[in-house]
Amino acid sequence: MAGAVAFELSWLLLPGLPLGIAFLFLIVFFRDPERRTGRGIVSPADGRVLEADAAGRLVVFMGLSNVHVNRAPLDGRIAAMTHTPGGHAPAYRPDARRNERVETVLETPIGPVTLVQVAGTVARRIVTYRAEGDRVKKGQRIGMIRFGSRVEVTLPGDVRFVVRPGDRVRAGETTVAEVGRGLVR
């Protein structure tokens, strides 16, 4: 009789196992830890640097295991925010530039900074937490891209990246660039 009860309980628990695993995945994926804001121009996203070029362009790829909350790289005011529909190519590929995106232009002390949140293959939704005219502080949450994506930042003027392709960065914490001869505070 004890064996029959154990057999019946195992059949009752079996359907719950995949649901439990899915639940744990969602909790890990949608986490949003507090961060200590770094010095200088900080990364807008967790992930791996794909590009950091002399023209002031930084691209960060967020894999499924990264935190997907995006943060402001500098203090500023949101001058413009534009949503553009598009495809869903893998976010680590160059042709992801034609994917669905939200482009945010920040007016900052160093000039305009453009931040582009790009949806990837699995990501089908970009959630913005701010609107045009809002003031943001460096490291403040500005939005989220769900399930694998990328963030591109274009910086003005005399900036020098202190990260290279392949480096791992954390949103709001990792210093990614210096301005002129020193860091922005």
The confidence score (pLDDT) of residue 65 equals 81
pLDDT higher than threshold 90 for residue 17: no
Amino acid at 137: K
Q: Would you call 183 exposed, middle or buried from its count of C-beta atoms within 10 A (0-12, 13-18, 19+)? A: middle
149 given a catalytic annotation: yes
Which entry of 10, 43, 65, 149 is annotated as an active-site residue? 149
**Which one has a higher pLDDT value, 144 or 31?**
144
List Cα–Cα distances, 56 to 22, 27, 120, 159, in angstroms.
39, 35, 23, 7
Mean per-residue pLDDT, 131-149: 91
Mean per-residue pLDDT, 22-38: 71
CATH number (2.40.50.100, 3.30.110.70, 3.40.50.1450, 2.70.70.10) of 31-179 reads 2.70.70.10
pLDDT higher than threshold 60 for residue 1: no
- Tell me what the pLDDT averaged over the chain comes to: 85
pTM of the model: 0.81
Mean per-residue pLDDT, 119-137: 88
Bridge partners of residue 169, in order along the sequence: 47
Determine phi and psi for 108, rounding to 5 degrees. Answer: -125, 170
pLDDT higher than threshold 90 for residue 112: yes
Q: Would you call 25 exposed, middle or buried from its count of C-beta atoms within 10 A (0-12, 13-18, 19+)? A: exposed
As a whole-number percent, the residues of the chain with pLDDT over 70 amount to 79
